[in-house]
Structure 1
């Protein structure tokens, strides 16, 4: 049985998938500055597979749905993007397995779980110039705004603003993980493509809220 929570969640996942496909060239160009330029390609191919199998995913509860998205991402994306993004979705799935309703606290819990999964899988942390440098402050903003009683639209818009500011700030960092870390100080001066992707996705979700 499809729940209202799963329906809203699947709309958000579909939006994330289509946005990543649409921004393939942009994300790859960002990655080419200090990396190997395949980030956008890998992400787009993975989310194309998600969209291809979308109608067949089990929607009995939010966790089951996210778990199937995670398995597609992990098995169908090359390089490091598959394991990283797949782990993020899988950890988020575990938080809401069997749930029939989702609130702001659940969104925060899913994002926190995703962050911990990314840290463990990729060996990265804040300040290493990765997508974590955008996800973590964005999650902090969502948690604080929810606790203050802000409505969903305001929370989403502020989250997008924080994610964008955080992504832009990664330009000042030296990459310590991924292919970009091989360039050392030459990675300074350009933003991390993963962090920018988080900002773009957060902005798209806020616009569509």
Structure 2
């Protein structure tokens, strides 16, 4: 089970990952975007951190909905609506829940993915966060379907997410500001795919650290 406490720890861990990698994400975005992805994401998740003490006693769905609203209102550019949509759709499937099973996490990832797909209109291969979120979601589903436990499924998901992130380097951007560069977008790792990888990695790390202690 993934508990409400672990969800809060995940959000704290993700915020820390974003803060620690703020300059790196901005550097990636400087090559093919507006040079503000790290700055914007850090601003949004620092706001989320300030909200967590007020919502830690709420159900998981309510926690994730507050995260969504906070990100939408505080992150500029495309990242706010995209991550906001991810957490909003995830909040719906987690509504009223105090714990999440492997199947619940699977549904959470699936719904989050659908939220981003509908908001951003990108497809796998367009050099966006979808290139990480989509195969990572499938990897988690396949792991659960084959009988693996939460830790094993998370590890499989993160391994696929890391590979998918790196696989954005040689691809041509077809969505967002990076697409304006045409062939010049090739050879650069996508910043949105990178922050998405950090989100999934922190999710796995938060679960593993509490289970193993």
Q: Same fold (TM over 0.5)?
A: yes
- Counterpart of 1:47 (choices 45, 48, 53) is 45
For residue 139 of structure 1, what is the aligned residue in structure 2?
137
Is the contact made by 1:58 and 1:64 (CA closer than 8 Å) also made in structure 2? no
Alignment of 1:55-66 (within 5 A): 55-57=53-55, 59-66=57-64
Is the contact made by 1:70 and 1:89 (CA closer than 8 Å) also made in structure 2? yes
SS in 2 for 1:171: coil
Alignment of 1:47-196 (within 5 A): 47-57=45-55, 59-196=57-194
- Unaligned 5+ runs, structure 1: none
CA-to-partner distance for each residue in 1:166-187, whole Å, 9 max, x for gaps? 1111112211111111101110
Q: Which whole-Å CA distance do the structure 1 matches of 2:185 and 2:121 have between them?
A: 19
What is the alpha-carbon root mean square deviation over aligned residues? 1.5
Q: Which whole-Å CA distance do the structure 2 matches of 1:202 and 1:5 have between them?
A: 16
Q: Which whole-Å CA distance do the structure 1 matches of 2:180 and 2:128 have between them?
A: 14
Is the contact made by 2:170 and 2:188 (CA closer than 8 Å) also made in structure 1? yes
4+ residue runs of structure 1 moved beyond 4 angstroms?
none
SS in 2 for 1:172: coil
Q: Which whole-Å CA distance do the structure 1 matches of 2:117 and 2:198 have between them?
A: 21
Q: State the TM-score, normalized to the length of structure 2.
A: 0.91
CA-to-partner distance for each residue in 1:86-126, whole Å, 9 max, x for gaps? 11100100111112331111111111111111111112111
